[in-house]
Amino acid sequence: MSTTLIEPIATDPAIRPGVAARALAATKRYGSGDTAVTALDAVTVDFRAHEFTAIMGPSGSGKSTLMHSVAGLDTLTSGQVFIGDTDVSSLDDKRLTKLRRDKIGFIFQAFNLVPTLNALENITLPLSLAGRKPDAEWLDLVVETVGLANRLSHRPSELSGGQQQRVAVARALASKPEIIFGDEPTGNLDSRAGAEILDFMRRAVRELGQTIVMVTHDPVAASYAQRVIFLADGRIVDELTEPTPERVLDRLMTFGD
């Protein structure tokens, strides 16, 4: 296997300039004794700002655990996680909740829209819950870019699956988060709708300056990213830039996925 080595990270835990998030010797174990399972094995990785990164690997490789840990949705057994210059590992529940609300956006496979709210209300819901008003100019730009301007008054039941996921992506962008995490964000969509969402996510990085980290099992989806990180047995084993579906699939076959 031809492996692209990841640049070593300095031992100083302070976040690097230009890095939106990082894991430092991140380890996650479930259980104890002979039945213990190591989901993450001392993983150190940077997620650069204004970049679209995909995380891939065989089932059980630790890809979702890595993303959930960096996003503050799961706690590490040992190691550290940073969002910007904030050590997520050191936060109590109240400060962690505030960090996720203010600095992180989430896009999941399930759209998680409120059925009684229209598209605009769903997009601005996290800001409303935080007692914040949206930046009108930014909101207009997001809505225009995602192509929802003529659907804002529609409720989820009146939208297609692709349109509902557009609402979910716009919701993640509305608060201008430092980083957006996507967990199989096109998993419930057909190929055409999925391609539209992935293209918008790529545009959000290139044109709106966002940072996106996405877990996916789909080589086509990963090819929309600028960088693909591969995990196996809880460790980063490879990295690919300028991915194509064929190159991604070739790497995955090496790991037995």
The domain that holds 132 is classified in CATH as 3.40.50.300
Is residue 21, in this structure, part of any structural domain at all?
A: no
In single-letter form, the type of residue at position 35 comes to: T
- Residues 165, 189: contact at Cβ < 8 Å? yes
Instruction: Give the model's pLDDT for residue 151.
Output: 92
- Residues 80, 87: contact at Cβ < 8 Å? yes
Is residue 64, in this structure, part of any structural domain at all?
A: yes
In whole angstroms, give the CA distance from residue 106 to residue 225.
17
In whole angstroms, give the CA distance from residue 17 to residue 217.
30
Rounded to the nearest 10 degrees, the angle between the axes of helix 136-146 and helix 161-174 is 150
Domain extent, residue 213, equals: 50-70+95-255
Instruction: Give the model's pLDDT for residue 17.
Output: 55
Predicted TM-score (pTM) of this structure: 0.85
In whole angstroms, give the CA distance from residue 56 to residue 108.
16
3-state class of 101 per DSSP?
helix
Tens of pLDDT along the chain (257 residues) come to 343 333 333 334 444 558 999 999 999 999 888 888 999 999 999 999 999 999 999 888 999 999 999 999 999 999 999 999 899 988 999 999 888 888 899 998 888 899 999 999 999 998 998 888 888 999 998 888 888 889 999 999 999 988 998 899 899 988 888 899 999 988 888 888 889 889 988 988 998 889 999 999 999 999 999 999 999 999 999 999 999 999 999 988 887 54
By CB atoms closer than 10 A (0-12, 13-18, 19+), residue 104 is: buried
Is residue 9, in this structure, part of any structural domain at all?
A: no
Number of domains in the chain: 1
Instruction: Give the model's pLDDT for residue 254.
Output: 81
Q: Give the pairing type, strands 179-183 and 104-108.
A: parallel
Sheet strand arrangement including 104-108: 104-108, 179-183, 212-215, 52-56, 227-232, 235-241
Is residue 40, in this structure, part of any structural domain at all?
A: no
In single-letter form, the type of residue at position 130 comes to: A
In single-letter form, the type of residue at position 51 comes to: E
In whole angstroms, give the CA distance from residue 239 to residue 85.
24
User: Residue 245 is inside which H or E element, if any?
Assistant: helix 245-255
Contacts of 245 (CB under 8 A, 6+ apart): 219, 220, 222, 223
Is residue 202, in this structure, part of any structural domain at all?
A: yes
Q: What's phi and psi for 40, nearest 5 deg?
A: -130, 135
The residues pairing with 22 across neighbouring beta strands, listed in sequence order, are 46, 82
- Residues 45, 25: contact at Cβ < 8 Å? no
Is residue 80, in this structure, part of any structural domain at all?
A: no
Is residue 16, in this structure, part of any structural domain at all?
A: no
Is residue 123, in this structure, part of any structural domain at all?
A: yes
